[in-house]
Amino acid sequence: MEIGVYLAPEAAATDIADFAAAAERLGFDSLWLPEHPVMPTVTATPFAGVGGDEIPEAYGRLPDPLIQLAVAAGATSRIGLATGVCLVALRNPLILAKQVATLDASSNGRVTLGIGAGWLREEFEILAGDFRTRWDRTVETIRALKMLWTGTDTSYAGEFVSFPSLRCLPRPVQDPHPPLIVGGKGERALRVAAELGDGWLPVHADVEMIDAGRVRLDELAQEAGRDPTAISIVAFGGPARYRSVDDLGALEAHGVAQAVLWVTEPGARAFDQLEELGELVRAVRSSEHA
């Protein structure tokens, strides 16, 4: 099982080049970065994270994850570069396809696109309109991205995404494209992962939730005519989840392909927490070879 690290919004001010280099040195397989393009000053939506209803101030200071991952790519040579998650429905799919393909080509095929539909109604409505359409917009964007990365003269005509015949180069290094990992715990997220994704990304998930999700994911994949074994599970931690060798061993035993551990401490303490988690990674690797 692979082990990644997520630089949570609370730690977003951390120097990304140094953090990525340290994560690679400590043996992490991937680095995941969050996205919130804007943060409305007045919101009624309860916080979807852990720890109360108020949205932490740090969520309004997030850098763009793709630009940060490009910086991380230049400071590293091996570690995977992932969005956790990219709110694709809030982005122009033509520009996003170019950005992701360029990053994948520049990093020699290290990109994973973690995808979410979003939870903050006010943010979505500012950038994309009706919040109720978020999953429909996400689905059309995913379909368009796949076509842009694999087609020659590509056009798309949907309700929310539409463009005439065009070329969008360079292509990603990964064939046919970077892995698309769909985040969310609900039925719609599972359905999109089963129909269009390369993986499912449940957040704050225990093994019981993962097992139930795997059963439903397999059913939906079969309905969609896909091989369920082609869809992996990436367990996307939480502030205090997956903090022991036993925790990570249980995830692997329940079919998880990758566990992502969270760094939540601000400033210099982010590096201290990363070092602590790196010790856990070393312990896991040692147990695998015991």
Q: Are strands 162-166 and 154-157 parallel, antiparallel or unpaired?
A: antiparallel
Q: What is the tens place of the pLDDT at every residue in 172-219?
A: 999 999 999 999 999 999 999 999 999 999 999 999 999 999 999 999
Domain that holds residue 177: 2-288
pLDDT score, position 53: 75
pLDDT score, position 12: 87
Going by C-beta distance under 8 Å and a sequence separation of 6 or more, which residues neighbour residue 157? Answer: none
Could you give the 3-state DSSP secondary structure of residue 177? Answer: coil
DSSP-H helix ranges across 130-228: 134-150, 187-196, 207-223
pLDDT score, position 167: 94
CATH number at residue 9: 3.20.20.30
Is 0.95 topped by the overall pTM?
A: yes
Token pair of 210, please? 């993962």
**Considering its fold, how many domains does the chain have in total?**
1
Q: Which residues of the chain are modeled with pLDDT < 70?
A: 50-52, 290
- Rounded CA-CA distance 201/116 in Å is 9
What is the residue-wise DSSP string for 207-247? Answer: HHHHHHHHHHHHHHHHHTT--GGGSEEEEB--TT-S-SHHH
- Rounded CA-CA distance 22/209 in Å is 32
pLDDT score, position 290: 66
pLDDT score, position 40: 96
pLDDT > 90: percent of the chain: 94
